[in-house]
């Protein structure tokens, strides 16, 4: 430790200190007598620039700086699930208990994971077994839903000399591993630490070929995201980014959810924190929180911690991915993370890039999203895990040409464009079907054709074409009215309206309509397309009155079909298709 390291300048969350010759890049330091947590982000000889993750008011030059020799890391062990942390992995509930206040006191030191709680460890390997980094030593029932797999730390390998099953705290030794060449022994506990800015090692990445099923029809049918894929939800204020991400967190078929509230308004985050513990996991009926980890770093918390919160979340997500789980990470919103980078860059007096963002905005964004993927986990058994990353972007005024949105689109393969006009029309989810896209559709077509129905991909392409044709015909209707269209074009407009209002619109607050299985989505769209197919030869007859088709009672049945319970899907849609045929034929 440098005895004479002292502060020379304070500029908001940036502190400059002298006498830092022993400091290392990204080393954690304790700033001032208050012992605020900071991180070295720039070094010039004896001088270091420190990003402080707590409020710096009242701190001045001459105060001491203490080096810790550690980089900013997260603690990984049983106990992470159900936790709510701030941006640098301090448990908010423990802080509240310790301070007896709803506000985080400066300089407070609380362990991220309990050092006294005992966990029931069951060894799955024996003395004499050879292990390497990533191998599973044993399991711990962390919650009812998730079995925690205790792994060999990535940089350790050798033969197991000792291993014990039983009740242990996360710091107690559960195994001893001896290196074969150096004969050095390593004590392994359940607790691992990992630096947040370095991705965890894997054997290799695989090509994603299975969808992450979300239960939202507009996403699953038109713009699917692959398991292990990355997607972006840009949209203006009030278009429903947070609601869409919460819906994804509730219903997507990932096993572990990591939700990062990065720089969002406090009341939005409060909603998430109060709502999630009461939500039931649709697959098991258990509280959703039992497979969720939350990182809450609201807009009124220190700006620098936003920058760390995104890395803290993705490192925890990678840890569960390494166990072989499918993990989904929601980052809401990456624009606030970029704003934190811009603020720190400005204080460091770096040369600004586009719109004042730092020149490295693109590489940081890419580095974050590229940690997503479906991987072969490290270790000798053939485990596969996936990490899907979905980031919300909040472009000022809904302008998608601004740097954060553009840099995000460059590295993500799914673009769900939220539209303020649709939100004002009360069409939710307000995802614009003409602007959005997914580059995973070709990879996933085989899976959909095999697992749902052979004509699933064909129906999707047809629905997209009908919606595109509608936007072209709308121009004509606006100029000369609906009567100028041919009967076939009128049918296209009517079919598109049914796809929009009966299929794409989804009521997120209705217990049945909030989640739609792939089979139900397929049958609902198929019924709408069947309606169009059977009507086409009839409407082309001479003197046919199109209003008769529009007034058919079966159209109301199609509109209500999204509210059918999942167990009745097959029988109900068989009946519905029969009704469509008989009513149109009677015309």
pLDDT at 192: 95
Q: Per-residue pLDDT for 234 more than 80?
A: yes
Hey, is 255 helix, strand or coil? coil
Tell whether 46 and 28 lie within a shared domain: yes
SS3 368: helix
* Beta strand segments in 172-262, E: 173-178, 185-189, 192-195, 202-206, 230-234, 256-262
Torsion of CA 486, 492, 496, 498, to 10 degrees: 90
Q: Decide: 122 and 139 in contact? Cβ < 8 Å.
A: yes
> Residue 271 contacts by C-beta under 8 Å, 6 or more apart in sequence?
none
Residue 97 in domain: no
What is the DSSP pairing of strand 292-297 with strand 256-262?
parallel
d(CA 447, CA 449) in angstroms, rounded, equals 5
Mean pLDDT score, 228-242: 91
Residues 161 and 41 in one domain: no
Mean pLDDT for the stretch of residues 317-335: 95
CA–CA separation, 95 and 101 (whole Å): 8
DSSP line for 511-548: TTTT---HHHHHHHHHHHHHHHHHHHHHHTSTT--HHH
Do residues 358 and 342 make contact, with C-beta atoms less than 8 angstroms apart? yes
Whether residues 411 and 485 fall in one domain: no
The predicted model gives 523-548 an average pLDDT of: 90
pLDDT at residue 2 greater than cutoff 80: no
In a shared domain, residues 157 and 38: no
pLDDT digits 0-9 by tens, 363-414: 999 999 999 999 999 998 889 999 999 999 999 888 999 999 999 999 999 9
Its domain, for residue 333, covers 205-437
Query: Which pLDDT score is estimated for 540?
Result: 81
Q: Is position 379 within any domain?
A: yes
pLDDT, average across residues 335-360: 92
Residues 176-201 have a mean pLDDT of: 94
Shared domain for 355 and 217, answered yes or no, is: yes
- Do residue 211 and residue 184 come from a single domain? no
Same domain for 466 and 391?
A: no
Asked whether the predicted pLDDT for residue 170 surpasses 70, the reply is yes
Q: What is the CATH number of the domain that holds 169?
A: 2.40.50.100
Among 447, 441, 458, which residue's Cα sits nearest to residue 525? 458
In a domain, 76, yes or no: no
The CATH number linked to 523 is 1.10.1140.10
Summarised one tens digit per residue, pLDDT across range 215-227 is 999 999 999 999 9
Distance between CA atoms of residues 198 and 371, nearest Å: 10
Q: How far is CA 157 from CA 121, 173, 486, in A?
A: 20, 16, 73
Specify if 401 maps to a domain: yes
Checking if the pLDDT of 202 tops 50, the result is yes
Flag whether pLDDT at 296 surpasses 80: yes
Q: Does 80 map to a domain?
A: no
Mean pLDDT of 560-572: 93
Instruction: Give the mean model confidence (pLDDT) for residues 232-257.
Output: 90
Q: Report the distance separating Cα 405 and Cα 421, nearest Å.
A: 19
Would 447 be classed as within a structural domain? Answer: no
pLDDT tens-digit readout, 416-450: 999 999 999 999 999 999 999 999 999 999 999 99
260-264, 276-280, 326-330, 454-458: segment of lowest average pLDDT: 276-280
CA atoms in the 13 A half-sphere facing the CB of 348: 25
Total structural domains within the chain: 4
The alpha carbon dihedral of 44, 46, 52, 58 has a sign of negative
Residue 245 contacts residue 229 (beta carbons within 8 Å): no
Q: Taking 80 as the threshold, does the pLDDT of residue 542 lie above it?
A: no
pTM, whole model, 2 decimals? 0.94
Q: Which of 232, 200, 225, 224 is nearest to 338 (CA)?
A: 232
Burial label for 113, CB within 10 Å (0-12, 13-18, 19+), is buried
Proportion of the chain above pLDDT 70, given as a percent: 99
> In the structure encoding, which two tokens stand for residue 442, read together?
């070709």
Average the pLDDT over 289-318 and give the result. 90
CATH number for the domain that contains residue 14 = 2.40.30.20
Which residues lie below 8 Å from residue 117, measured CB to CB, with a gap of 6+?
A: 79, 169, 170
Position 360 in a domain: yes
Identify the band that residue 103 occupies on the pLDDT scale cut at 50, 70 and 90. confident
Average confidence score pLDDT of the chain: 92
- With a cut of 70, say whether residue 1 has pLDDT above it: no
CB count, 10 Å around CB of 574?
Answer: 10
Q: Give the up-direction half-sphere exposure of residue 167: CA atoms within 13 A in the CB hemisphere.
A: 3
pLDDT confidence of 279, banded at 50, 70, 90?
A: confident
What is the distance between the alpha carbons of residues 274 and 266, in angstroms, rounded to a whole number?
12
- Which among 150, 169, 195 is the end of a domain? 195
Question: Which residues lie closer than 8 Å to 267 by C-beta, 6 or more apart?
Answer: none
Q: Which of 177, 195, 213 is the last residue of a domain?
A: 195
pLDDT, tens digit (0-9, with 9 covering 90-100), for 28-54? 999 999 999 999 999 999 999 999 999
Tokens standing for residue 50: 């420190």
Q: Give pLDDT, residue 3.
A: 58
The tens digit of pLDDT for each residue in 120-157 reads: 999 999 999 999 999 999 999 999 999 999 999 999 99
Asked, for residue 82, whether it belongs to a domain, the answer is: no
> Does residue 468 share a domain with residue 424?
no
Query: 557 and 412, same structural domain?
Result: no
Closest Cα to residue 432, out of 520, 500, 527? 500
């Amino acid at each position: 430790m440098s005895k004479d390291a002292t502060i020379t300048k304070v500029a908001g969350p940036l502190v400059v200190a002298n006498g830092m010759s022993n400091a290392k890049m990204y080393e954690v330091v304790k700033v001032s007598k208050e012992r605020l947590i900071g991180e070295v982000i720039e070094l010039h000889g004896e001088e270091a620039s420190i990003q402080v993750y707590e409020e710096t008011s009242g701190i001045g030059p001459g105060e001491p700086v203490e080096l810790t020799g550690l980089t900013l890391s997260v603690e990984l062990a049983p106990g992470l699930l159900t936790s709510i942390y701030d941006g640098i992995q301090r448990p908010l509930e423990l802080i509240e208990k310790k301070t007896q206040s709803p506000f985080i006191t400066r300089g407070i030191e609380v362990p991220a994971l309990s050092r006294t709680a005992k966990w029931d460890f069951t060894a799955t390997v024996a003395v004499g077994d050879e292990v390497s980094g990533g191998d599973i030593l044993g399991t711990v029932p962390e919650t009812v839903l998730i079995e925690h797999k205790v792994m060999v730390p990535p940089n350790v390998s050798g033969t197991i000399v000792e291993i014990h099953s039983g009740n242990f705290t996360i710091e107690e030794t559960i195994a001893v591993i001896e290196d074969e060449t150096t004969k050095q022994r390593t004590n392994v506990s359940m607790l691992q630490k990992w630096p947040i800015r370095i991705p965890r090692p894997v054997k290799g990445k695989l090509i994603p070929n299975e969808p992450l099923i979300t239960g939202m029809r507009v996403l699953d049918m038109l713009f699917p995201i692959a398991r292990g894929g990355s997607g972006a939800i840009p949209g203006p204020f009030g278009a429903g980014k947070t609601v869409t991400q919460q819906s994804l967190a509730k219903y997507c078929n990932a096993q572990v959810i990591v939700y990062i509230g990065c720089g969002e308004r406090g009341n939005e985050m409060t909603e998430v924190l109060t709502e999630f513990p009461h939500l039931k996991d649709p697959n098991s009926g258990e509280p959703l929180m039992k497979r969720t980890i939350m990182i809450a770093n609201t807009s009124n918390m220190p700006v620098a911690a936003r920058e760390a919160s995104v890395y803290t979340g993705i490192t925890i997500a990678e840890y569960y991915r390494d166990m072989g789980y499918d993990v989904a990470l929601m980052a809401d919103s990456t624009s606030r993370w970029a704003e934190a980078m811009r603020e720190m860059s400005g204080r460091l007096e770096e040369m600004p890039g586009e719109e004042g963002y730092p020149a490295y905005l693109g590489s940081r964004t890419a580095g974050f999203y590229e940690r997503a993927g479906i991987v072969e986990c490290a270790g000798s058994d053939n485990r596969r895990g996936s990490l899907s990353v979905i980031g919300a972007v909040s472009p000022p005024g809904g302008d998608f040409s601004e740097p954060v949105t553009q840099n995000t689109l460059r590295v993500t393969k799914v673009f769900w464009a939220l539209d303020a006009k649709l939100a004002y029309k009360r069409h939710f989810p307000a995802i614009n079907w003409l602007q959005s896209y997914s580059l995973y559709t070709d990879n996933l077509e085989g899976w959909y054709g095999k697992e749902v129905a052979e004509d699933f991909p064909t129906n999707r392409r047809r629905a997209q074409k009908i919606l595109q044709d509608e936007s072209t015909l709308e121009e004509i209707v606006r100029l000369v009215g609906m009567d100028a269209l041919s009967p076939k074009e009128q049918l296209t407009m009517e079919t598109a309206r049914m796809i929009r209002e009966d299929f794409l619109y989804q009521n997120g607050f209705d217990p049945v309509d909030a989640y739609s299985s792939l089979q139900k989505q397929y049958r609902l769209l198929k019924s709408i397309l069947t309606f169009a197919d059977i009507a086409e030869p009839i409407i082309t007859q001479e003197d046919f009155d199109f209003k008769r088709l529009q007034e058919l009672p079966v159209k109301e049945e199609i509109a209500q079909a999204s509210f059918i319970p999942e167990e009745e899907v097959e029988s109900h849609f068989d009946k519905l298709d029969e009704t469509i045929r008989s009513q149109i034929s009677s015309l």
